[in-house]
Amino acid sequence: GQQVMQIPQYQHVQEGEDFTTYCNSSTTLSNIQWYKQRPGGHPVFLIQLVKSGEVKKQKRLTFQFGEAKKNSSLHITATQTTDVGTYFCAGRNFNKFYFGSGTKLNVKP
């Protein structure tokens, strides 16, 4: 069945280091969304990518959608302690959303 895999499961970085999480789907996606969930909080929408090969930036965050629309990545440059949380990708195939298992980011000051 449809699956969206996300790696790594956990990432511990020193403040100032870069961080990347990867999302891979077994089938082509219509679009992909990224969410951030702070500890004890609810997921908060970050961005949506729709086009093949699309790249979008939000300050220190760079999001990419693969050419085949089956994979995506989120890269954070120079992490800060405020980046702590779990990052989820969510791929849409037809009417359903498939969330990745998330990457939990811990940033040491």
Partner 1 sequence: DSGVTQTPKHLITATGQRVTLRCSPRSGDLSVYWYQQSLDQGLQFLIQYYNGEERAKGNILERFSAQQFPDLHSELNLSSLELGDSALYFCASSVGFREEQYFGPGTRLTVT
Interacting residues with partner 1 (CB under 8 A): 6, 30-31, 33, 35, 42-45, 48, 88, 90, 92, 94-102
C-beta of 19 vs 88, nearer to partner 1: 88
C-beta of 47 vs 77, nearer to partner 1: 47
Q: Is 88 in contact with 95 (CB distance < 8 Å)?
A: no
For the bound state, the minimum distance from the C-beta of residue 101 to partner 1, rounded and expressed in Å, comes to: 4
For the bound state, the minimum distance from the C-beta of residue 51 to partner 1, rounded and expressed in Å, comes to: 14
For the bound state, the minimum distance from the C-beta of residue 78 to partner 1, rounded and expressed in Å, comes to: 26
Strand duo 61-65 + 71-76: pairing: antiparallel
C-beta of 62 vs 93, nearer to partner 1: 93
For the bound state, the minimum distance from the C-beta of residue 71 to partner 1, rounded and expressed in Å, comes to: 17
**What are the DSSP calls for 8-77, one per residue?**
-SEEEEETT--EEEEEEESS--SEEEEEEE-TTS--EEEEEE-STT-EEEETTEEEEE-TTSSEEEEEES
